[in-house]
Amino acid sequence: MIKISKKSFLIVLIIAIVGGIGFTAYFAINKNSDKKKYAFIIDNHKFTKAEIRDLVSYPNQLSPQQDNAKIAFDYYRDQIIAQKLGITIPNSITESENSILTSMLTPDNSVQSQKWIKLLVYENSLKKFLEKGGAVDVRGYLYYFWGNQHVSSFYLTGTPPAGSDNPVNIDKDKNYALLKANYFHDALKSGQITPDAALTAISSDLNLSQAYTPNCNLSVKLSDNNLSWLSQVQLPDIITYIKSVSQKGVSPVQKAELVNYGKNMGTYYYFVDLSQTYATGTDVSTFNKAVNTSKSTYYGL
């Protein structure tokens, strides 16, 4: 066992105390230095008093009564945390917010006004995006192929075609639906037909229409005419599938069964051709938690 004399122990203790005081003093000096130089620090991103004073010179003209430096801190923190979480805001949202803010504030051509507007646009766009659950509007096409024209139980109104409930005719319906689904799938993949032309052809095909009625088909151009794609897609199974699609373009053909009140109403096929996929993002509560736990210090001007 190693023995340490009292004298040696006291020397080591004194060195430790002095060292501790030195480190404490060093960090205190550094912190004081930061306070003098920086307006705020967010996750190691340092913003000097000079640059923030320059930035807020524009909003100070519009609203001198509010603490625009603190507002800048909040907005920059939101932006840095959003980027850290990998949040990507659709251009449609930022373009809309930019149009609104520039018309309201009528910014001049100064660098300060442009920077401030850009900061406001991002903050407002981020809030709108998070309010939607971080979910992007789906864009593209849903192509739907109904294969049960001869199943009479499906007809709540209208008259079923001749030969209904004949197994041979029902099989022909299903085979026709699958045949057309594969045909249009391959034609779209190869570029032999445009998405709009495919939509028109499928929707007008009487043998693909529900209730054997012309243009009674669930195929649709998604998010068209400012409509929400969720309101356009009528079947929960298809909504779930669309949310799961991560790749843009023409998806594989899907087979599904239509169930109503626990009763199987028949087989259908579908696929999507998406130019913008659904993406689940960060919701408001998750984002706020990330902001509140971030390493951020506000010193002010």
119 falls within a domain: yes
25 falls within a domain: no
Say how far apart CA 251 and CA 92 lie, in whole Å.
24
For residues 223 and 270, state if they share a domain.
yes
Question: Which of these, 178, 180, 171, 222, lies nearest to 205 by C-alpha position?
Answer: 180
84 falls within a domain: yes
For residues 112 and 185, state if they share a domain.
no
Range of the domain at 114: 40-134+283-298
Q: What percentage of the chain carries pLDDT values higher than 90?
A: 41
34 falls within a domain: no
Enumerate the β-bridge partners of residue 40: 47, 298
10 falls within a domain: no
242 falls within a domain: yes
For residues 109 and 187, state if they share a domain.
no
For residues 79 and 180, state if they share a domain.
no
Residue 14 has pLDDT above 70, yes or no: no
Say how far apart CA 269 and CA 99 lie, in whole Å.
42
Amino acid found at 73: F
Q: Are the CB atoms for 238 and 142 separated by under 8 Å?
A: yes
Terminal C-alpha separation, the chain? 59
Residues 18-43 have pLDDT tens digits of 455 544 544 445 557 778 899 999 99
Enumerate the β-bridge partners of residue 141: 221, 273
Q: What is the pLDDT of residue 12?
A: 47
Residues whose CB falls within 8 Å of the CB of residue 261, separated by 6 or more in sequence, listed in order:
none
Q: Which of 11-15, 105-109, 154-158, 203-207 has the lowest mean pLDDT?
A: 11-15
The residue count of the chain comes to: 301
For residues 149 and 240, state if they share a domain.
yes
For residues 75 and 144, state if they share a domain.
no
Give the three-class secondary structure for 193. Answer: coil
Say how far apart CA 89 and CA 285 lie, in whole Å.
17
The number of folded domains in the chain is: 2
For residues 236 and 147, state if they share a domain.
yes
**Most distant pair of Cα atoms in the chain: their distance:** 110
For residues 206 and 111, state if they share a domain.
no
For residues 155 and 51, state if they share a domain.
no
For residues 72 and 176, state if they share a domain.
no
21 falls within a domain: no
Give the three-class secondary structure for 282. Answer: coil
For residues 153 and 44, state if they share a domain.
no
68 falls within a domain: yes
Say how far apart CA 294 and CA 81 lie, in whole Å.
8
Q: What is the pLDDT of residue 295?
A: 93
For residues 109 and 166, state if they share a domain.
no
More confident site: 277 or 69:
69
Amino acid found at 180: K
| pTM, rounded to two decimals | 0.55
